[in-house]
């Protein structure tokens, strides 16, 4: 039995949904300066669930990933309205490969452990936590080349708090990309296993 005949594929789709869901918020913040509070919390909480019992537990349960699963289904059906979102998702998947091979991954891990008490006390979406996560991303992941470029409204992209929030959510998207790869995900999946992936998404949305 191949891995694509097992529950691993379903878990992989949850991780990919988590990534896409986070990146949709990156796009929204960059365009409007605001995020969906519940989806933002799901993304940022996942950053601190390093030793979760299951992929679903990383996000607080499968139900929290429904927006991301719907986005994935729209992509596979060529119904997505945001042409920049798939490009951003691909950029983060490619970033994960560079990140995984770089010693700074350990710095990020240690930084998250140091921030975890504040996130637990204040909440992961508190401005102080967002600022700290944004700084962690800027000091580590942003040093990798090429950078993940986010397009949006210059009015919002010129605000330090908005930039910090975008970086924090990019860190959450990267966390999902790392999980996806740990579960056996590969860019080849999109070419060779597209039908299986769609079936897994449809099953998760039932």
Peptide bond preceding 18 in cis form (omega within 30 of 0): no
pLDDT of residue 80: 80
pLDDT tens column, 106-130? 999 999 999 999 999 999 999 999 9
**Over pLDDT 90: what percentage of the chain?**
84
Domain extents in the chain: 3-205
Region class of 26: left (phi > 0), else alpha (psi between -120 and 50), else beta: alpha
Q: What gap in Å lies between CA 152 and CA 160, rounded to an integer?
A: 14
Q: What gap in Å lies between CA 173 and CA 170, rounded to an integer?
A: 5
pLDDT tens column, 39-93? 999 999 999 999 899 999 999 999 999 999 999 999 999 888 888 999 999 999 9
Nearest to 170 by CA among 148, 144, 187: 148
Stated pTM of the model = 0.94
What is the CATH superfamily name and number for domain 3-205?
A: HflD-like (1.10.3890.10)
């Amino acid at each position: 039995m191949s891995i694509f005949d097992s529950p691993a594929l379903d878990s992989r789709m949850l991780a990919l949904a988590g990534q896409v869901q986070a990146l949709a918020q990156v796009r929204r913040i960059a365009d409007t300066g605001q995020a969906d509070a519940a989806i933002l919390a799901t993304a940022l909480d996942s950053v601190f669930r390093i030793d979760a019992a299951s992929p679903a537990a990383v996000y607080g349960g499968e139900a929290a990933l429904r927006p991301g699963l719907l986005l994935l289904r729209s992509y596979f059906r060529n119904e997505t309205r945001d042409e920049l979102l798939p490009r951003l998702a691909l950029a983060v998947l490619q970033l994960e490969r560079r990140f995984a091979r770089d010693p700074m991954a350990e710095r990020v891990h240690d930084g998250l452990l140091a921030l975890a008490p504040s996130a637990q006390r204040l909440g992961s979406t508190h401005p102080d936590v967002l600022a700290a996560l944004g700084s962690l991303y800027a000091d580590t992941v942003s040093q990798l080349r090429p950078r993940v470029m986010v397009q949006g409204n210059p009015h919002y992209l010129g605000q330090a708090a908005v930039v910090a929030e975008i970086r924090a959510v990019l860190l959450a998207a990267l966390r999902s990309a790392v999980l996806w790869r740990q579960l056996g995900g590969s860019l080849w999946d999109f070419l060779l296993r597209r039908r299986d992936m769609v079936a897994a998404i449809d099953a998760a949305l039932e």
